[in-house]
Structure 1
Amino acid sequence: MICAALKLYDINPILHVTYPAKKPKLKELPTAEQVIDMVRGTDIELPCLLAMWLSLRMSEVRGLQFRDLKDNTLTVCCSNIYFDGKNNVRDQNKTYKSTRKLTIPDYIKDLIMAVSHEKEDEFIVQMEYQTLRSKFYKLLEEHNYHMTFHDLRHLSASVMLMLNIPDKHAMERGGWSTNSTLKSVYQHTFSEERKQVDKKIDDYFNRLIEGSDKDKNL
């Protein structure tokens, strides 16, 4: 701001600013298996799995409408942002790459179809932001875990890294943008490759779901 003001008077100062060194943020997150065990059977299971399994942001989770689901394909194209005490629905997401289509597993589709609704333009996750946030943190406190809702996306990225999912596929699935224009804009993956990626991730989470079922039956 100061430099812009000085330039109005043809003064072009050469300033050297030293920024403080960035401190690494170390955080111990629960595993995907622990999160599934925590949210399983609760009324926030669906939004949490949408974030961790499908790599959706909170605003994207709350912006999904029933009309966005066709067969097993979910189109992530809207956002519902809680700001200044009210919901702000936008027909766009955070970035250009955030608008995407995802093949959803049967488990999540069943959770979606179990939600009572009359119209296609109703939200899939109908819980208010503050309520969802409160319930999520209450569960975390009960299990002595420390994380934010957005950390579910970090878990999603970590799972894809663990499964050796190529960066290009991970970026498409999560809607992440990078500084590499070539990779994020001009390179595209074949549909058959994407199906294999989706299946690999779904198989992992389905095994966790099945393991959770076995533990509960013991």
Structure 2
Amino acid sequence: MATAKKLPSGSWRCQVFSHIETSIDPQTGKKKDKRIYKSFTSDVPGPKGKRIAEQMAAQWAAEKENATSVQNLTLGEAIDRYTDERLSLLSPRTVMDYRRTRKKDMQELMNQKVPTLTQEQVQVAINAFAANHAPKTVRNAHGLIAAVLGVYRPNFALNTKLPEKVRPKIYVPTDAEIQRLMECAKGTELEIPILLAAFGPMRRGEIGALTSDDISGNMVHITKNMVLNTERQWIIKTPKSYAGDRYIDFPDFVIEKIKGKKGRIVSLDPNQITRKFHDLLKKNKMELFRFHDLRHYSASIQHALGIPDAYIMKRGGWGNDGTLKEVYRHTMDDKTMSMNEIANTHFSELCNTKCNTK
């Protein structure tokens, strides 16, 4: 680290090497190298001024070193570095998605140098990628690239045209389907997961991680989530979002099913829940839908009962109301035809009454 020196004026100056300038000696015709230094001055008197000058010099040198290393950094290497520096902050699933994007998506960009990457190159790659990938996948991959460039090339802001978002196809099971499902699952290893998802609502990972220590009376405290790590092993982590850590007051008939259990309440992992749930529906010739759709059922019923969104979000662990709005929109679409029929019948009766009085 460079040391600051006191000037005759009382200020402190710290010099740090910047670069070498080469010139030609007019007399000898030979090349001459001259070392160029960057100066940092502090007018603060005493030791504090000395420290300030040295800190400014050290910061500049560190930024210069980082900028130099970025000059030769490819986009793929930048994604690797970006991911590695955030391993302790990212969820295992996010890390897996970043690694997959790095290895498999838009490989024509991965060997491009970060400082010379152009908007046109990104747009062309996105156009090709969008031809055989869902809009959400495209947007996620582009989001990663934009975030990486924001760190390693902060003055370059992408303005890429992305595919339009597609409304998710949300299925909301009916009361009749839920009743039949409970009958079919009674006494099986899926009975408790179905009850926890439909009347919580809890997610697959939350169900897999639930233990008897998380239950007090009818109250269940969601503090853990079962997820796959980068080695594809199931591990227990804290909830991905702040909203995921929550308390759910379950009805008595659900608590009765898990009363007396010690340790893990459900022995299945999330993938096993998904597979066995699909098999159960297929075996009983029921409409095929996702296990996760049981959460939609819970949200839609609470909404129909007039429970405010804030309470539904808190119970379900949703950080925003985006999912709820999609669930409600689907529910309303199902009723649109019957509502239209009521309106049209009223208008027709009104018209017939008027016509008959003429």
Bigger relative CO (Cα 8 Å, ≥ 6 apart): 1
Give the counterpart of 2:176 among 2, 11, 33: 33
Partner of 1:87: 234
CA radius of gyration, larger in? 2
1:114 Cα deviation after fit: 5.6
Q: How many residues align?
A: 173
> Are 2:259 and 1:113 equivalent residues in the alignment?
yes
Residue identity in the other structure for 2:257: L
1:147 Cα deviation after fit: 1.5
CA distance in 1, matches of 2:199, 2:264: 19
CA distance in 2, matches of 1:160, 1:3: 52
SS at match of 2:226: strand
1:17-56, aligned counterparts within 5 Å?
Answer: 17-40=160-183, 41=186, 42-56=188-202
Partner of 1:160: 302
Change (3 A) 1:3 1:95: farther
Partner of 1:135: 276
CA distance in 1, matches of 2:159, 2:196: 45
Residue identity in the other structure for 1:34: E
Deviates more, 1:97-106 or 1:124-133: 124-133
Partner of 2:204: 58
Q: Is the 8 A contact 1:29 1:146 kept in 2?
A: no
Residue identity in the other structure for 1:71: G
TM-score, length basis structure 1: 0.68
Residue identity in the other structure for 1:54: G
CA distance in 2, matches of 1:34, 1:154: 13
RMSD: 2.8
CA distance in 2, matches of 1:171, 1:25: 19
CA distance in 2, matches of 1:28, 1:19: 27
1:21 Cα deviation after fit: 1.5
SS at match of 2:307: coil
Partner of 1:5: 115
Q: Is the 8 A contact 1:76 1:98 kept in 2?
A: yes
CA distance in 2, matches of 1:3, 1:51: 47
1:10 Cα deviation after fit: 9.2
1:16 Cα deviation after fit: 3.2
Residue identity in the other structure for 1:63: A
Residue deviations 1:169-200 (CA, integer Å, cap 9, x gap):
11111111128xxxxxxxxxxxxxxxxxxxxx
CA distance in 2, matches of 1:129, 1:29: 20
CA distance in 2, matches of 1:104, 1:11: 51
